[in-house]
Structure 1
Amino acid sequence: MTTRTAPITRRDMMRAALTTAVVVGTSAAVAPIVLADPAPGAPAAGAPGPAAPVPAGTFDEVYRGRRIQGGPTTPAPVRRAVARTAAAPASGPGIEISIDGRPLHVMRRADGTYLSLVNHYQSFPTPLEVARAAVDEIGTAQLSTTALHHH
């Protein structure tokens, strides 16, 4: 007795394509969580041994599967005296924050709190809290890499 195999139908091809798309999409959504650091502050695999002391006010942690880093800015050399007076912050050093390596633009308010472009109607007492709130707000989206221009 011979068995006869049915030809592959369009429905079978569509089912296979949909299954593949679901598997790939799920893998892409879960990858940042799986590949994230195992614990905040734990060294990454292959990372060098003990590092230099961390400057005060700096942070580097994984929050909800997103790596947030931040700390005081390092002043860049200024070539012109006019630019030096215009670029000098009035309230001390600035702050740099990144989420997954992309810059989060943060401003310090007159009362000492911080706000970001993601949460510009709410202020937070520390840069770490403003970064966490931005992660909460953007969810799985990425920050833009486009530089802001102030005119």
Structure 2
Amino acid sequence: MVTRRRVLATGLTTVAAAAGTTAALRPMLTATSGSAAVIADDKAAAVGRPDQEGRPHQHGVGAEGATPPLFDEVYRDRRIQGFPSDTEEGVDLYIDGRPLELMRRVDGSWISVANHFQPYLTPLATARGAVDVIGRADLSMDSGHHH
């Protein structure tokens, strides 16, 4: 039997659960992907997107078509680059000039094809995690989605 007390109790429980979930997810949902990223120095040479063979295009500062990276670093002897993108994820990742597929999860964290089971807070952390997983192996040049 549906009573007024049961309806109110269910409603309050639902509100409490939603509020708790919001409070728990707030840090991840409000974090920006650029907060932990290493921003390229304006005085350094800007590096463009890699070409079809995975070789990075080298552009000088101010060169036409140069896309400055969101981050560009060497981690465990692997070059990690992230560029702004028009994709749903908003960033393209490259490890040694080869594309790394990146996916944004509903909770705001990131995963890569190198490790679907470990979420990270930023694209840079995701790329570092991928380097940890793949070691010295090369990524495939095929960057198609397989889902």
Match for 1:119 among 102, 115, 120?
Answer: 115
Question: Deviation of residue 95 (structure 1)?
Answer: 1.9
**Which amino acid in structure 1 is aligned with residue 124 of structure 2?**
L
**Which amino acid in structure 2 is aligned with residue 114 of structure 1?**
W
Match for 2:78 among 45, 63, 66?
Answer: 66
Question: So what's the TM-score if we normalise by structure 1?
Answer: 0.51
Counterparts of residues 67-82 of structure 1 (less than 5 Å): 67-74=79-86
Aligned CA-pair RMSD: 3.1
Question: So what's the TM-score if we normalise by structure 2?
Answer: 0.52
- CA distance in structure 1 between the aligned counterparts of 2:73 and 2:82, rounded to whole angstroms: 9
Match for 2:127 among 121, 126, 131?
Answer: 131
The answer to which structure has the higher strand fraction is: 2
SS in 2 for 1:129: helix
Larger radius of gyration: 1
- CA distance in structure 1 between the aligned counterparts of 2:123 and 2:133, rounded to whole angstroms: 15
SS in 2 for 1:148: coil
Does the 8 Å contact 2:101/2:143 carry over to 1?
A: no
Does the 8 Å contact 2:68/2:83 carry over to 1?
A: no
- CA distance in structure 2 between the aligned counterparts of 1:54 and 1:102, rounded to whole angstroms: 17
Residues 119, 103 of structure 1: alpha-carbon distance in 2 compared, 3 angstrom cutoff: same
- CA distance in structure 2 between the aligned counterparts of 1:71 and 1:129, rounded to whole angstroms: 14
Question: Deviation of residue 136 (structure 1)?
Answer: 1.0
- CA distance in structure 2 between the aligned counterparts of 1:67 and 1:54, rounded to whole angstroms: 15
Larger RCO (alpha carbons 8 Å, 6+ apart)? 2
Question: Deviation of residue 47 (structure 1)?
Answer: 7.6
Structure 1: tracts of 5 or more residues without a match: 1-39, 76-88
**Which amino acid in structure 1 is aligned with residue 125 of structure 2?**
E
Residue in structure 2 matched with residue 79 of structure 1 by the alignment: none
Identical aligned residues as a percent: 52
Residue in structure 1 matched with residue 101 of structure 2 by the alignment: 105
Question: Deviation of residue 73 (structure 1)?
Answer: 0.6
